[in-house]
Structure 1
Amino acid sequence: MRKNYLIILSLFVVIMAKAQENEGDIEEVKIHARAKVNKEREEFKRHAQSTETLSEYELNRNNPNLIEQSLSSIAGVQVEKRTIFGGQRIVVRGYGNDQKFNNWGIKMYWNNIPLTNADGITILDDVNFGFINNIEVIKGPAATLYGGGSGGAVRLYSRPSTKKGTSISEEFMTGSFGLFQTSTSITDVGDGHSITANYGHIGTDGYRPHGKSIKNFLNINGEVKLNQKQKLTLLASHGNSLEQVSGQISFEDYYNGIDNGNQAYIRRGAKTKFVTTRVGLGHIWDINKNLSNSTTVFYTGTTSDRIAAGAYETYSAPNYGLRSVFNYSKDWGNFKSQTEFGIELQQSRSLITNYRFKSVSIDEEPILRPLYDGSYFKNLNNQSNYFAVEKLTYKPWELMFLAGLSINEISYTRNDMLALPGLFIIGGVDRYNKNLSFDKKFKAVATPHFALQKTWQNQIFNLSYSAGYNAPTSATSFITGLNQTNNDLIPEKAKMWDLSVQGLLANTAIDYQFSLFSINVKDKLTQLRGVIPNAELTPYSYWANTGDQENKGLEMSAGYVYTPKSSFLSKIRPFVSYTYNDFKYSNFKTYLASAPTADYSGNNVVGLPKTKISLGLDFDTRIGLYWQNTYSYMGSVYSDFANGTRVNSFGLLNSKIGYRYSFYKFDMDLFVMGNNLTSQINYTFLFYGNSINDSDNDNQYNGNTFTDVNPGPNKAYFFTGFHVKYNF
């Protein structure tokens, strides 16, 4: 496959060179900035803090379901994942790497539907990223508009088509790891409606042992105009996702390019399976020339089965609520007032069972412990967010002042379904002599946001202060080992100063962003380990507020669209993003197993590199050929609080070559893409902080070998495919 790729690349260069010799004078084309810039400027003005977006162009530079490839190109954002198409963990400005799995502290949405449930947890396995055509990332605390989340907000969009008519499209992709991927869409757009129905399928053997992925998605997205002032919106999806889990390996195997998976996971058939139905029905109403409202009621129902090295878990949860936002705008002579206020309410009701595996030798079949050694909980979680933001602009100076405030509340109720009297009386002995039920409500938290924004020609200058918070989840609010509520636990709070500039240089198509920020996270939530006295020092885990974290950083990004006046090339598009992190713990103390209390103040925050860089260079030709190149560099990171284990840096080179052509009523795009073309050793997921030194008694390693890393493909891999659209 690599040979074919190089042949295609050589032919591409030869055709380009030959065509340039014969190309005559070309009519001057007006210079435009990158496709994402207009939306990016709009959201930057609205949120008054550093915001970046990805348009459909950026999302399709690679396989769109490899969402880490596109999201990680944004300065200040990194994405890890446990499986080939699942288990994503998104980190924004140093926040989000605390959970061992899934996402916590970053609020996420799909259109106006929260992907983050009422417990504050986000799982992305059930999202069809191939159906997403726009992403925006609000960096740093954004609780004023989006509730709990110290790290910011990530908003995914499936925007309705605006091109009138009916069309049907098919996208197909195949390649390395036995990939078979399709996406079929039907779209109809008229004067008063736009609706798209989509079916997507992904099947692959994966690049790791026991690494198969099978996903099927049904999606409907659209809007219907009721009258001149009102319209309805709909997003409905059904996803069935299965990801086999290979488990983590040792660093020695990782650096030597050896990946046999983790037998403790593979022998148990480890997997994550999610079946999710999600519906959001929205109403947009221009009440009068000054006042408008957007309201969405939503429902998400998820069932899952998860098997890991130590447990088999089943989960069922409906999550529902509404988000309603009013916008009021009024001109007062030289002043303009813009007010945004609203509410977001969520409730989830879940049933979750957890069965524990016995530790057995490598030649024995895995078996489960008795039911009374596991758990069965019924949870009721509630989360509410009330917010108001006022923007006052002095129009002659194009100077805007923003002041916002939100009130956020969260509560949990958990019933232990195994604590029913007499349920486990065996031989006259109660085998389940505990009750893990509890109620907890955190006090309302107020989070302010202030900003001063100045627009000058094509430049936007913004100085902002924003606050966020991250409440403990229902799972972290109870100490199972001690059978008691963790009453000392309080939400962590974040305060951020952000100086950002965004704009276009002079009259060119060079766009840029520049941000300096400082985030102070107080009362950091960290998982610790303790031992129970007088019980043979039985180990248990719990969460505590361990101290503070200081995240200071610099982010820069720039892009350029160059249109040659007389050339075979129609466009040349370079871009760069650069991240510098100086993230440190302060007054940070923790406890590892039986070790004494340790003070890690002044150490680097785990899992975050000092430097992260993305470079891109794209070429478009006038005959439809294109060539897109991306290089991403991830600096070295520390995995432990003591900064004793340093994980090496790596750089990945990806490239895509394609040919676009329209004829009759067809639009065609044929392409081939290669990832990790220089065959670099790299990882996709690490265990950090107090999660390190993972070891299962019945894996293939000896008891002194720790398994903390999930490797990525260490050889070049390739995909090829096409996208064809027929316009009726």
Structure 2
Amino acid sequence: MKKVVLTSIILFLLSATLLAQDILKGKVFDKSTNTALPGANVLLAGKGTVTDNNGSFTIACENDAELIVSFVGYEIARQTIADCQAEIIIALNPSSHFLREVEITASSEFNRSILSQPATINKLGLTEIKRSTGLFLDDAINANVPGVSMQRRSISGGQQINIRGYGGGGPGPRGINSNFDQQGIKAYLNGIPITDAEGITLMDDIDFGSIGNVEILKGPAGSLYGLAIAGVVNLQRLQATPGRVTVGQEIMMGSYGLGRFNTNIQVGGQKGSLLINYGSQHYKGFMEHTASDKTFVNVMGDYKPSDKQSVTTYFSYNNSYDERNGELTIDQYNNLDYSGNQAYIKNDAHSNVISFRAGLGHAYQFSESISNQTSVFGTGINSNASSAGGWTDKAPVNAGLRSVFDTKFSLNQHLKLSGVTGVEMQKQLAQVIAYSMTTNNSDPNGYNIIGAMRSNQTQITGTNSLFTQWTLSMPHNISLTAGLGLSSMNIEIQDKLYIDANNVADPTVPRLYKTSYNNLTSPRVALNKIVNKQVSVYASYSVGYKAPVASNIYTPLAGRANIDLMPEKGMQFEIGTKGTILNDKLLYELVYFNSKFSNKMTLVGVPNTEGTATLYSYVVNSGSLLNEGVEAMFKYNAISSNTGFTKLLRPFVNFTYSDFVYNDFTFQNNISVPPADYSGKAVAGVPPVVFNGGVDFVSNTGLYANMIYMYRDKMPLTPDGLNIANSYSLLNAKVGYHKNFGKHFDADAYFGVNNMLSEQYYQMVFVNQLPDAFIPGPNNINYFSGINVKYIF
């Protein structure tokens, strides 16, 4: 009896002690992206815990004790706890980009740190995106991502991303490269494909000013993303800061009538968040007929009903209008004659894109070993565009889903197996109508107007991809990755303007044409070794495909359907090393790659009887590209301190060497001339040497600055190497002041200068399309400035 009483007294006292003990609740997130950090270490008064999948934690608390939060790749955060009852929010500053996790790119690795990835995945955070205006993604990509370039056909439209020599995608109007659309990459925004079911990536309507995170996977990625022959670009919007409610207003003004006005509302709670962003962007242009007007509305929310489940939503409305003044000839460009192409201007050349994008995502953690992320999405676009060749209306509607299972198993004490298995499906219905343009007789001196209809097609396209990729983590920090993707594309075209020449008893071109490209198999294998938890070396081999688009396989004027066209195939071998050395001060990446793109598609023109104009063109497979190159990137943390005047001083450089040649490559511009053999010649449109260097400076007082130098080597414009785009250098700089005023106000004011050397340069080069060649950038020094103010409730 005495033992029972004694035991009861002990249990009572222990319970009273536990009940009296305070419990601190908190959340840890990445300060630069506002994303939760699961697995962060939390230490308080000698007790420790780790954050859960939502970045949340609970821990026994004592007032006035020091809370210490740490996570690999981030600076340690320390804070004295004044009130254990108050929930705490901890924002960690990244200390090393290479040791940070891959956040929005699919990965089969057990550890999602970039160091563990046997591939080149370049991350762009707010530091890189906002070094300039932050409105044009090409500013960030071209200065920070070796082996990747981004061009734009107008001030803020017609974007094209070139990854390791595969850029522009499809066949151009006079042979090898495409200058009018973007194919070969897969692009996603908040998990929603920007790339449509046909494989075309339109970015005119994307608000790059509200992007907070970019990840670029270089090379064929069929084992994770299906038809991605060149690589994958993942974009993520800025997210609401956890635990805060803010209202922000940003105003930016600049040369040539640049104006950006942005309003956002952020509501960040423990179980959910909401972000509403409205942006209005205007530009008068530095050349005739190059104005731009855009309106963006983005709404993003997430809700966590439980620790195992989360729901995300995304909606955007975009209205984009960009004028075009055409391409300059070589003589115009060399003589600084920026008057443009009068045929474009007379046709009021432009690109007008009105779009809705929406997505609903659901994530569920079934157990510690199995989780699923599924998103359904839809996109509706209404576009009209005119050029020297006429006017085109296009109204595509896309819908689809992507569902991925992440699995992680411990086979024994030394072996772990993790994998990604999923499906992505997308369907598109598009109405495409083309018109000629004719003189407006009521105003002959004004713009031309829409004339007779040239074609009217209903296009139905669909892509389906099954993929699985697994990684075996072995002793000594060695991992082996193997994956396989299986993709298909289906195309159905209904010709609603059937020309008389095809309307015969035994037609060679049907009014309804269907074709499919099936069993496009994309394997991947890779090996990775981590040394001393700071450095990794890896080797990988991957395969990807690009199927033809609807316009490649069906040309009514040709009198036949192009039934023999084959998909392009890309194969890449890559070996590299990355990590941090010199006491975590020097971040580096060195990569060698060797790629082959076979069955490259080109156009063959058919001239009229007199040989004065091209009646129509058709597509053929011509040969291969052999792309071999070296990429290097270095960042050095010369100063990193939370005391003293200087908080961060970080110089950075990156370098790309490209040796790209045509292999067994013959094609003809039109059937009236014999085919030409370009084997062994340098691939047009790729500079052999690209160099970028700069420095970031941040003070503990709020002052910050950066300077960037960019160099592009000369390069051939045509596959014969006879026409050259000259080299150029750009020097840009920005200075600003960011300060919190009390608990409720946050302000950021800045001033920037672009092209400080007043150098002539191009925004885009039209490859193999002489006499048209260049779309120039401003050749004079230009300025921008702005202020961003937030009120924190």
SS in 1 for 2:557: coil
Residues 34, 559 of structure 1: 8 Å contact kept: no
Partners of 2:276 and 2:583 in 1: CA distance: 41
- Give TM-score, length-normalised by structure 1: 0.89
Cα 1:722–1:544 change in 2 (3 A) is: same
- How far did residue 228 of structure 1 move? 1.6
For residue 151 of structure 2, the aligned residue among 68, 73, 80 is: 80
For residue 691 of structure 2, the aligned residue among 606, 613, 638 is: 613
- How far did residue 480 of structure 1 move? 3.5
Equivalence for 1:33: 95
Task: Map Cα deviations across residues 450-488 of structure 1 (whole Å, 9 max, x no partner).
Answer: 000111121121110000111110111123331221111
Partners of 1:55 and 1:638 in 2: CA distance: 33
For residue 467 of structure 1, the aligned residue among 540, 543, 557 is: 543
Task: Map Cα deviations across residues 22-46 of structure 1 (whole Å, 9 max, x no partner).
Answer: xxxxxxx989734575136946467
Are positions 1:266 and 2:345 aligned together? yes
Partners of 1:535 and 1:724 in 2: CA distance: 62
SS in 2 for 1:226: strand
- How far did residue 599 of structure 1 move? 0.2
Cα 1:436–1:249 change in 2 (3 A) is: farther
Cα 1:481–1:642 change in 2 (3 A) is: farther
Q: Higher relative CO (CA 8 A, sep ≥ 6), structure 1 or 2?
A: 1
Partners of 2:728 and 2:606 in 1: CA distance: 36
Equivalence for 2:489: 410
Residues 176, 719 of structure 1: 8 Å contact kept: yes
Count residues in correspondence.
Answer: 679
Q: Which amino acid aligns with 1:719?
A: F
Task: Map Cα deviations across residues 72-102 of structure 1 (whole Å, 9 max, x no partner).
Answer: 1210010111111111111000001332212
Are positions 1:338 and 2:414 aligned together? no
SS in 2 for 1:547: strand
CA RMSD, Structure 1 to Structure 2 (Å): 2.6
SS in 1 for 2:549: coil
Q: Which amino acid aligns with 2:526?
A: A
Are positions 1:520 and 2:596 aligned together? yes
Q: Which amino acid aligns with 1:84?
A: I
Are positions 1:586 and 2:663 aligned together? yes
Equivalence for 2:236: 157
For residue 296 of structure 1, the aligned residue among 367, 371, 375 is: 375
Residues 115, 535 of structure 2: 8 Å contact kept: no
SS in 2 for 1:546: strand
Gapped regions of structure 1 (runs ≥ 5): 1-28, 694-705
Q: Which amino acid aligns with 1:645?
A: N
Cα 1:624–1:367 change in 2 (3 A) is: closer
Q: Which amino acid aligns with 1:640?
A: T
Equivalence for 2:649: 572
Q: Which stretch shifts more, 338-347 or 357-366?
A: 357-366
- Give TM-score, length-normalised by structure 2: 0.82
Partners of 1:421 and 1:537 in 2: CA distance: 21
Residues 132, 157 of structure 1: 8 Å contact kept: yes
Partners of 2:511 and 2:135 in 1: CA distance: 39
Residues 209, 246 of structure 1: 8 Å contact kept: yes
Are positions 1:655 and 2:733 aligned together? yes
Partners of 2:157 and 2:706 in 1: CA distance: 25
Partners of 1:435 and 1:327 in 2: CA distance: 45
Equivalence for 1:688: 767
- How far did residue 358 of structure 1 move? 5.0
Q: Which amino acid aligns with 1:392?
A: L
- How far did residue 528 of structure 1 move? 2.6
Equivalence for 2:88: none
Are positions 1:438 and 2:513 aligned together? yes
Residues 419, 434 of structure 1: 8 Å contact kept: no
SS in 2 for 1:524: strand
Equivalence for 1:3: none
Question: How do 1:115-514 residues align onto structure 2 when only pairs under 5 Å count?
Answer: 115-333=194-412, 334-358=414-438, 371=452, 374-394=454-474, 396-419=475-498, 437-457=512-532, 458-514=534-590
Task: Map Cα deviations across residues 571-592 of structure 1 (whole Å, 9 max, x no partner).
Answer: 1111111000000000000102
Cα 1:538–1:616 change in 2 (3 A) is: closer
Cα 1:646–1:421 change in 2 (3 A) is: closer
Equivalence for 2:791: 726
Question: How do 1:47-66 residues align onto structure 2 when only pairs under 5 Å count?
Answer: 48-66=118-136
Task: Map Cα deviations across residues 114-138 of structure 1 (whole Å, 9 max, x no partner).
Answer: 1000000001011111111000110
SS in 2 for 1:397: helix
Cα 1:483–1:569 change in 2 (3 A) is: same
Residues 409, 417 of structure 2: 8 Å contact kept: yes
Partners of 2:599 and 2:782 in 1: CA distance: 44
Q: Which amino acid aligns with 1:345?
A: M
Cα 1:538–1:663 change in 2 (3 A) is: closer
- How far did residue 635 of structure 1 move? 1.1
- How far did residue 708 of structure 1 move? 1.8
Cα 1:536–1:185 change in 2 (3 A) is: closer
Q: Which stretch shifts more, 519-528 or 639-648?
A: 519-528
Partners of 1:247 and 1:421 in 2: CA distance: 33
Cα 1:262–1:296 change in 2 (3 A) is: same
Partners of 2:565 and 2:188 in 1: CA distance: 27
Cα 1:603–1:421 change in 2 (3 A) is: closer
Partners of 1:472 and 1:727 in 2: CA distance: 51
Partners of 1:528 and 1:556 in 2: CA distance: 38
Cα 1:230–1:569 change in 2 (3 A) is: same
Cα 1:270–1:206 change in 2 (3 A) is: same
Question: Percent of aligned positions with the same letter in both sequences?
Answer: 31
Partners of 2:213 and 2:317 in 1: CA distance: 20
Q: Which amino acid aligns with 2:762?
A: Y
Q: Which amino acid aligns with 2:536?
A: I
Residues 355, 368 of structure 1: 8 Å contact kept: no
Cα 1:210–1:225 change in 2 (3 A) is: same
Gapped regions of structure 2 (runs ≥ 5): 1-74, 77-92, 103-110, 169-176
